[in-house]
Structure 1
Amino acid sequence: MHDSNKHAYFIGGGLASLAAAVYLIEDAGFKGENIHIIEALPIIGGSNDGSGAKQEGFVCRGGRMLNEETYENFWELTSRIPSLEVPNISVKDEILAFDHANPTHAKARLIDKYGKILDVHSMGFDHDDRMKMLKLFFTDEHELDHMTIREWFGDHFFTTNFWYMWQTTFAWQEWSSLFEFRRYMNRMILEFSRIDTLEGVTRTPYNQYESVILPIKKHLDKFGVDYSLQRTVTDLIFKDDNGITVTAIQYQDADGQTGAISLQEGDICFFTNGCITDNSNNGDYKTPARYLPDNPPSFALWKKIALKKPRLGNPDPFFGKPDETKWYSFTATLRGNKMLKLIEAFSGNKPGSGALMTFRDSSWRMSIVVAAQPHFKAQGEDTTIFWGYGLYPDKTGDFVQKRMIDCTGEEILTELIHHLHFEQHEAEIKESVVNVIPVMMPYIDALFQPHAKSDRPPVVPRGSTNLAMISQFVEIPQDMVFTEEYSVRAARTAVYTLLNIEREVAPVTPYNRRPDVLAKAVHTAYR
């Protein structure tokens, strides 16, 4: 156990930090009590959240898609973590068993303004769309710095079934980064041919906080990992030389008390440089969520240290335009299953089998997803929930004459009921409501913002002796951001690199070079 006296400090308590802690204990011989996770929120889990109670309603800020074939390091990590529900199996086996028993096959992926389910087997491309897609596939991504999707494709592309489905599955905007879009096309090429049914989506038994974060946290608790909650790191102090060596971590607690932690020789520091749920805010059935974009803490710290050490990346392109990176989500909690039964009859999908339903013509570009019930362990049999989001929160609704950003949970539910043409059931649905919790997230799409490749630092920056960056804002060639896999891959890379561990980080599987997969993709483009 060669590293048993070293200490490791984590700034941020999300999936990447928890994953790195597992690798430190199991692959690097760290003592659990020498691992310190510092988190500004009162709870561990970062953007993998899920909370609430039957009486006041449940909330997930976002929905995270897993994928069985392409999440190489995520599955390796979860294969090490014992299930909390089923004795003698891993979290990986628990998730995959649940998913195989509840396969996804969306029958109502796109819905028009008349409430008609659209046939989306055809991608809807014209010749120009196909040529542009092909050209992008073969373009070197180094030529695509700062370019947007809109600058590459013509107007027709943004009216295709493909765009509506791909956009809402992954939360793209027309002004999103073209080279991130290209990486998705390469990395998710298996999904291209099944984007109309989302058969590639892997589901967890419950929300991801309870299915992923909690089991990892309980596993780390057995080793005595140390957590400091409601503590915000305000600065990193570096050794005064040309390298990158952290000597101290300065922080402020929720009560205003400040302090510093000194790092000794051999200690290491991991920083989640940029959090997409920074400054999120919840409303309720009668109150809109508030838009509070100022001074996101993870960005403030990243900016501060990047000014001291230029090899730590450039956060400005990602966190400089919250009006471009925000969207509004909502979680509805209902007594009984009236609404879910109506959605099931309309869509042909029982809860948990349907993935996203997108209202193509909605001005908010609204989508909903109904998970298998219960989605929270505390939900109870008499309670149902569903989740949704709008990509254009500044637009005025089609039925509620307000911007989505200004809407209460009740107003969002009203808009949804009208898109589904359930008006005759509106009173009964609303009588069953426990809560509809809207969530404003100013930076949720920050990782897709146009930028230069050099704006994201490597996981272990050149010249670093003890600092690694682990987040959606590090540069990992071939992989795609906005995924659980990216966090775990960054974490594993960080631990193995900083500690010179001669083990392989599972490589990206090159499906984009398999002839059978490419042939299927070409066929799909002509469907």
Structure 2
Amino acid sequence: MYYSKGNYESLARPEKPKGVESKSAYLIGSGLASLAAAAFLVRDGQMEGKRIHILEKDSLAGGACDGYEYDNTGFVIRGGREVDNRYECLWDLFHSIPSLEVEGASVLDEFYWLNKHDPNSSLMRATVNRGEDAHTDGKFGLSDKGTQEITRLFFTPDEALYNRRISEVFSEEVLNSNFWLYWRTMFAFENWHSALEMKLYIKRFVHHIGGMPDFTAVRFTKLNQYESMILPLVRYLDAHNVQFHYGTKVENIQFDTKTDKKVATRIDIIRDNQKDHIDLTEDDLVFITNGGCVENSSIGNQNTPAAFNQELKQGGGWDMWRKIAAQDPSFGHPDKFCYDAEQSNWMSATVTTLDNRIPPYIQNICKRDPFSGKVVTGGIVTVKDSNWLLSWTFNRQPHFRNQPKDQLVGWIYGLFTDKPGNYIKKPMRDCTGKEICMEWLYHLGVPENQIEDMAENSANTVPCMMPYITAFFMPREAGDRPAVIPAGSVNFAFLGQFAETTRDTIFTIEYSVRTAMESVYTLLNIDRGVPEVWSSTYDIRDLLNATSTLSDGKKLTDINLDPTVKATLGEALKKIAGTDIEKLLKEYHLI
């Protein structure tokens, strides 16, 4: 497997890998990483679909990329993914997957046209005082010291950040800024999360720093992520006779690691409530999604809180990884991530409006007609003075294909689930859907004497608790996540958010697809390049633009620097006068 960039590789079809006719594949779980791997096996590996087996403990595919209507409960979206136009592996995949919305188009075509005709942006990123504009005004509000702390982190070697927390590298100069408000709510970082992941995120998305305050940096699908991405992928795999085995729980995978090579030899499963196993040969490829950010998640309803289930279940994804990791040190250290749900949880809630009482309050804040079919909030609106650090969003409506035209479906989430609310004096984790809706309506500016009636009769709200949703952000070091292809592996790979690949960042759909692509291309020896991570971190134009926007347009000569450094800068600016370097600095408003 090798990396590449440019049209020469990306537009080419690989030759059929040698010996693929005698191989089979078993994919553990049916999240995006597994589905993508199955698609690459079909498209680029040219493996027959009937030889590809997806083992899924539930009755529906998709994993964390969900969006369902539950009987007697309502519409539910546990989370949502912001999408980047520079997700090279994701779009390499989806340009081959037929759209279910537009005849004759791919999922990529549909997404591209949609976001060209209706580009994303936010007209109000944050509120205070019950629906008033927080007037962050697109500014990061960083002091010179804060900007320098972020720059220093950007250049810090990974090794120096092992097992360190964000609060160890950022002072209050950063943590009290608009920058941190934008960042933590957009990506769900907490102060105690990994400084290494923070650094990797800054480097990965440096080209989008300027588009963070108004969300022009991101794009969204037409419908929820299940119907817009997962369902087309499942239909594609069905059409190629890929075998889905629902109701099949994988408990463990046995490996032979006694020699200089590592071989998966058996999959232990429970099927139809009976223990069973699948014996493997070296021609049987195994793709393992280890861990799971939505494991132990629970759904409540309008009148029932979502349970906070901290104890990891025997036979779940984390338990499976623990059993695998016990067999070889190269298989990672799951307990670095899942040891404390208090540090990795947040809650979401899906709210469905039932009449015309709530939509005017939404429109008052987002400044757009939410029934227009176009961008509504353009990303999350963060309630800056919320005790729960509440954020909420309404994407293009309808958000579900079968959603009634006179209803809106939106998403609320809170990072501080253990704090009493501003209006509902209870921790978010103890609240019913109705109570979460009441807290949200309070922050929308609904008159207090109407809040309870509106939450009860004008909305249906479904809470969701996710104890391990940001487990992958826990402080870590090299080796805590297994490599996509561990050294010596003959017939297995790790996929998804708890597998290790270079330069890309977790908690993105791109990471799931990238690990899938790398694993398939390696195990089948496919002679086609895997697209390199977008190289903005090495593009001087992106770096200059990020420097300028982080400083809210401040000139280099106006930054409070050490006198010696400032004198050196002055001499350097004299020497570059009349050069292309001077032109570049002027173009990005740094001089």
TM interval, shorter chain, is over 0.9
Partner of 1:194: 211
Single out whichever of 340-349 and 256-265 deviates more from structure 2: 340-349
Deviations 1:60-115 (A, max 9, x none): 000111111x2110011000000112111100111121222222211211112353
| 1:430 positional shift | 3.0
**Where does structure 1 differ by over 4 angstroms across 4 or more consecutive aligned residues?**
none
Mapped pair 1:455 → 2:480: yes
Contact 2:263–2:282 (CA under 8 A) maintained in structure 1: no
- State the SS of the aligned residue for 1:65: coil
Distance of 1:147 and 1:81 partners within structure 2: 41
Mapped pair 1:389 → 2:413: yes
Contact 1:5–1:30 (CA under 8 A) maintained in structure 2: no
Partner of 1:515: 540
Mapped pair 1:360 → 2:379: no
- Per the alignment, do residues 112 and 223 of structure 1 end up closer, same or farther by CA in structure 2, a change over 3 Å counting? same
Contact 2:387–2:419 (CA under 8 A) maintained in structure 1: yes
- State the SS of the aligned residue for 1:67: coil
| 1:321 positional shift | 1.1
Largest Rg, 1 or 2: 2
Mapped pair 1:278 → 2:278: no
Deviations 1:227-257 (A, max 9, x none): 111221111112252332111100113x521
- State the SS of the aligned residue for 1:28: coil
Distance of 1:147 and 1:427 partners within structure 2: 44
- Per the alignment, do residues 199 and 432 of structure 1 end up closer, same or farther by CA in structure 2, a change over 3 Å counting? farther
Mapped pair 1:107 → 2:159: no
What percentage of aligned pairs have identical amino acids?
Answer: 37
Q: Partner letter of residue 183 of structure 1?
A: L
Mapped pair 1:149 → 2:166: yes
Distance of 1:4 and 1:509 partners within structure 2: 34
Partner of 2:262: 244
| 1:433 positional shift | 3.5
Mapped pair 1:83 → 2:102: no
Q: Partner letter of residue 263 of structure 2?
A: T
Q: Partner letter of residue 209 of structure 1?
A: Y
Distance of 1:353 and 1:347 partners within structure 2: 6
- Per the alignment, do residues 393 and 15 of structure 1 end up closer, same or farther by CA in structure 2, a change over 3 Å counting? same
Q: Partner letter of residue 219 of structure 2?
A: T
Contact 1:287–1:408 (CA under 8 A) maintained in structure 2: yes
Partner of 1:176: 193
Contact 1:113–1:362 (CA under 8 A) maintained in structure 2: no
- State the SS of the aligned residue for 1:453: coil
User: Which of 365, 377, 398 is matched with 2:401 structurally?
Assistant: 377
Contact 1:207–1:376 (CA under 8 A) maintained in structure 2: yes
Partner of 2:363: 344
Distance of 2:149 and 2:484 partners within structure 1: 32
Deviations 1:460-504 (A, max 9, x none): 000110110001011112111000000000000000111111211
Partner of 1:497: 522
Distance of 1:43 and 1:316 partners within structure 2: 28
Contact 2:366–2:376 (CA under 8 A) maintained in structure 1: no
- State the SS of the aligned residue for 1:29: coil
Mapped pair 1:11 → 2:28: yes
Partner of 1:161: 178
Unpaired stretches in structure 1, ≥5 consecutive residues: none
Contact 2:36–2:517 (CA under 8 A) maintained in structure 1: yes
Partner of 2:461: 436
Contact 2:37–2:513 (CA under 8 A) maintained in structure 1: yes
| 1:131 positional shift | 1.2
Distance of 2:457 and 2:361 partners within structure 1: 13
Distance of 1:248 and 1:170 partners within structure 2: 38
- Per the alignment, do residues 337 and 105 of structure 1 end up closer, same or farther by CA in structure 2, a change over 3 Å counting? farther
- State the SS of the aligned residue for 2:342: helix
Partner of 2:244: 227
Distance of 1:412 and 1:364 partners within structure 2: 10
Distance of 1:413 and 1:197 partners within structure 2: 25
Q: Partner letter of residue 514 of structure 2?
A: R
Contact 1:53–1:379 (CA under 8 A) maintained in structure 2: no
Unpaired stretches in structure 2, ≥5 consecutive residues: 1-15, 553-591
Partner of 2:113: 97
Contact 1:408–1:438 (CA under 8 A) maintained in structure 2: yes
| 1:176 positional shift | 0.8
- State the SS of the aligned residue for 1:21: helix
Distance of 2:318 and 2:349 partners within structure 1: 25
User: Which of 296, 308, 324 is matched with 2:343 structurally?
Assistant: 324
User: Which of 24, 31, 36 is matched with 2:53 structurally?
Assistant: 36
Contact 1:233–1:249 (CA under 8 A) maintained in structure 2: yes
- State the SS of the aligned residue for 1:332: strand
User: Which of 306, 312, 318 is matched with 2:325 structurally?
Assistant: 306
TM-score for both structures, normalised by structure 2:
0.86
Contact 1:302–1:315 (CA under 8 A) maintained in structure 2: yes
RMSD: 1.5
Partner of 2:560: none
Distance of 1:131 and 1:511 partners within structure 2: 20
| 1:415 positional shift | 0.6
| 1:431 positional shift | 5.4
Distance of 1:47 and 1:114 partners within structure 2: 32
Distance of 2:396 and 2:46 partners within structure 1: 39
- Aligned pair count reads 525
Distance of 1:370 and 1:44 partners within structure 2: 24
Mapped pair 1:400 → 2:424: yes
User: Which of 212, 225, 234 is matched with 1:217 structurally?
Assistant: 234
- Per the alignment, do residues 117 and 37 of structure 1 end up closer, same or farther by CA in structure 2, a change over 3 Å counting? same
- Per the alignment, do residues 359 and 447 of structure 1 end up closer, same or farther by CA in structure 2, a change over 3 Å counting? same
Distance of 1:397 and 1:194 partners within structure 2: 30
| 1:453 positional shift | 2.1
| 1:54 positional shift | 8.8
Partner of 1:49: 66
Distance of 2:257 and 2:362 partners within structure 1: 61
| 1:202 positional shift | 0.9
Partner of 2:489: 464
Deviations 1:381-430 (A, max 9, x none): 12211101000101111111111000000100111111121126536633
| 1:288 positional shift | 0.2
TM-score for both structures, normalised by structure 1:
0.97
Q: Partner letter of residue 439 of structure 2?
A: E
Contact 1:12–1:272 (CA under 8 A) maintained in structure 2: yes
| 1:516 positional shift | 1.8
Single out whichever of 483-492 and 354-363 deviates more from structure 2: 354-363
